[in-house]
Amino acid sequence: MENPSFVLKAIKDVAIEDRPKPELKTLMIWQRGRIGDYKLTGPMVLGHESSGVVVETGCKVKHLKAGDCVAMEPGVPCRRCEFCRKGSYHLCGDMIFAATPPWDGTLAKYYVNAADFCYKVPDSMNLEEAAMLEPVSVACAIAKTAELRAHQTVLVLGCGPIGVLCQAVAKAYGSKKVIGVDVVQSRLDVSNSYGVDHTFMPPRAEPGADPMEHAEKVAEDMKKQLDLGEGADVVLECSGAEPCVQLGIYAAKRGATFVQAGMGKKVIALPITAVCTRGLIIKGSIRYLAGCFPAAIDLIGSGQIDVKRLITNRYKFEEAEQAFELVKAGRQDVLNKVMIAGMQ
């Protein structure tokens, strides 16, 4: 095969197909289309958390050369819209984002990306660590959205990969106290291995209990048990689970910043009165902000964040479907960072 690619043909229908090797093009002649409902309308190559080795560069590229190992930021904005021009390129409505319909993803032997969205990694960093720059960059973006500062108490709800990495970033940025919350003990164990100050497993609500009353009670119990005083200075919600969102609102100190990064149900019940009376600052976080990939390179390259411990399973390129099935199964011993090797 010239360019073997892992393709999603339809829902739950995947295959390795040979596709033409993509040609280098300048950004000005790429055909663009808005990404609205993200609905799959045809076969699409999967993958967006990737690293690779440069095979060829455009004639004007000066900072990269063939043979360089790079991490790829998988979303290239239009650079011309209102949001791009004011520096908020993550909000670009014309962004080409890998594996988001109609754009193909990175799980192929060859992939073309804008040169300024490819980041050369240090010689000390292997390709697996380079692929993990994407989720670390997400965590850096969440921290930046929260305007995280030293000596703050940070509550992170959800201890999956992004939650754990948010905890690690918060520790690296000098937070006074970092707490990880999850309902799965194995995930709390991973948080503890990254040096969080406390972990907490909230009790489930009794059948028929009012969810808001339960969330408020659990928040008060947590604040007492963990000596949080009036609550957390910053709440990072990384689970998307409705009870966690509610818990986070009640666990926040007056005037705290609450960043919603996890996405679950489209519509949830929110204790809006508590948001208002506590004067909370609520923000949403999506993808990456400017400077997040370089920050992630520094954090991993300096040894402040060890991402290798999050990689629980490895598969060959030809076994990509098995990798996706493993993640889908939701096993407690799999933290959803499953590595797929590139096609040689």
Q: Which residues contact 273 (CB under 8 A, 6 or more apart)?
A: none
Position 142 scores a pLDDT of 98
Position 25 scores a pLDDT of 54
Domain 4-132 has CATH 1.10.3720.10: no
Distance between CA 13 and CA 9 in Å, rounded? 6
Position 10 scores a pLDDT of 80
Q: Which residues contact 204 (CB under 8 A, 6 or more apart)?
A: 183
Superfamily of domain 141-284: NAD(P)-binding Rossmann-like Domain (3.40.50.720)
- Per DSSP, what are the bridge partners of residue 252? 232
Q: Is the Cβ–Cβ distance between 331 and 312 less than 8 Å?
A: no
Reported as a single tens digit per residue, the pLDDT across 111-150 is: 999 999 999 999 999 999 999 999 999 999 999 999 999 9
Percent of the chain with pLDDT over 70: 92
- Per DSSP, what are the bridge partners of residue 96? 76
Position 40 scores a pLDDT of 66
Distance between CA 309 and CA 118 in Å, rounded? 24
Residue ranges of the chain with pLDDT lower than 50? 26-37
Position 106 scores a pLDDT of 92
Position 37 scores a pLDDT of 47
Closest Cα partner for 259 from 140, 343, 171? Answer: 140
Which residue type sits at 232? A
Q: To the nearest 10°, the Cα dihedral for 183, 242, 339, 342?
A: 180
Q: Is the Cβ–Cβ distance between 143 and 134 less than 8 Å?
A: no
Reported as a single tens digit per residue, the pLDDT across 21-72 is: 877 654 332 333 333 445 666 788 898 999 999 999 999 999 999 999 999 9
Position 41 scores a pLDDT of 67
Q: To the nearest 10°, the Cα dihedral for 13, 18, 21, 27?
A: -10
Q: Taking the domains of the chain in order of start, what are their residue ranges?
A: 4-132, 141-284
